[in-house]
Amino acid sequence: MSKFLIVGLGNIGDEYANTRHNIGFTVLDVLAKENSLKFRTDRLADIAEYKFKGKTFVLVKPSTYMNLSGKAVNYWLQAEKIAVENLLVITDDIALPLGSLRMKGKGSDGGHNGLKNIQEVLNTQNYARLRFGVGNEFAKGKQVDFVLGKWKPDEEKLLEPRIKLAIEIIHGFGTIGLQRTMSAYNNK
């Protein structure tokens, strides 16, 4: 199949824009801008679609809020007739240093509510995810404030090249496959 569902996790609303938790949305926004795409609001999500090297990429930003992301993911997998093997979820990860990118073909939710809901709704842990490190520079008990906090100016400078790399990884997933993409990018 040459169609891929690329889901960026985040929360809708201006108060969440440019926060660490919304890095999935941010990656897709940059990707859309680079390809002169406009997201359209549709059922449970904002959607955009484009072709790259003969493959179709359907970009999805769920409008269900993070904790109910699985509902949107499941709906769009079915609506677009895309197999779960062609699903890639982009998410923030506090277990990785700022700007680190880690692609995995399966795994636990790692305490991430968006991934947890996707796994519950899809009834599987076997789907690709691109974990984008946001660091863990927060005091005990301040995790929520940290991930929902805005990027600092010095962090934003570091993000730009890492977002570009995340876009390369998305394209790799669709063109050379999961395993080759992990081999090529997981140590960069």
Tokens encoding 108: 């636990």
Q: With the C-alpha atoms ordered 150, 9, 62, 59, is the resulting torsion angle positive or negative?
A: positive
Q: In this predicted structure, which of 47-56, 115-124, 138-147 has the lowest mean pLDDT? A: 138-147
CA dihedral 24, 29, 34, 39 (to 10 degrees): 130
Q: Is 135 left (phi over 0), alpha (psi -120 to 50) or beta?
A: left
Enter the pTM of the model. 0.95
Q: Where are the beta strands (DSSP E) in 17-74?
A: 40-42, 45-52, 55-62
pLDDT at 125: 95
SS3 54: coil
pLDDT tens track for 23-76:
999 999 999 999 999 999 999 999 999 999 999 999 999 999 899 999 999 999
Q: How confident is the model at residue 141 (pLDDT cuts 50, 70, 90)?
A: confident
The continuous run of DSSP H or E covering 36 comes out as none
SS3 28: helix
The domain that holds 179 is classified in CATH as 3.40.50.1470
The contacts of residue 1 (CB under 8 Å, 6+ apart) are 82, 83, 86
pLDDT at 114: 92
Residue 90 has pLDDT above 90, yes or no: yes
Query: Mean pLDDT in the chain?
Result: 93
Given the structure tokens 């968006």, which residue do they identify? 114
Determine whether 171 is an active site residue. Answer: no
d(CA 135, CA 172): 25
Residue 166 has pLDDT above 70, yes or no: yes
pLDDT tens track for 170-186:
999 999 999 999 999 98
SS3 177: coil
The contacts of residue 184 (CB under 8 Å, 6+ apart) are 172, 176
Domain span at 102: 3-185
Domain count, the chain: 1
pLDDT at 140: 83
pLDDT at 119: 96
Given the residues 20, 21, 61, 102, the one annotated as active site: 21
- Over residues 7-36, the mean pLDDT reads 94
- Over residues 104-116, the mean pLDDT reads 91
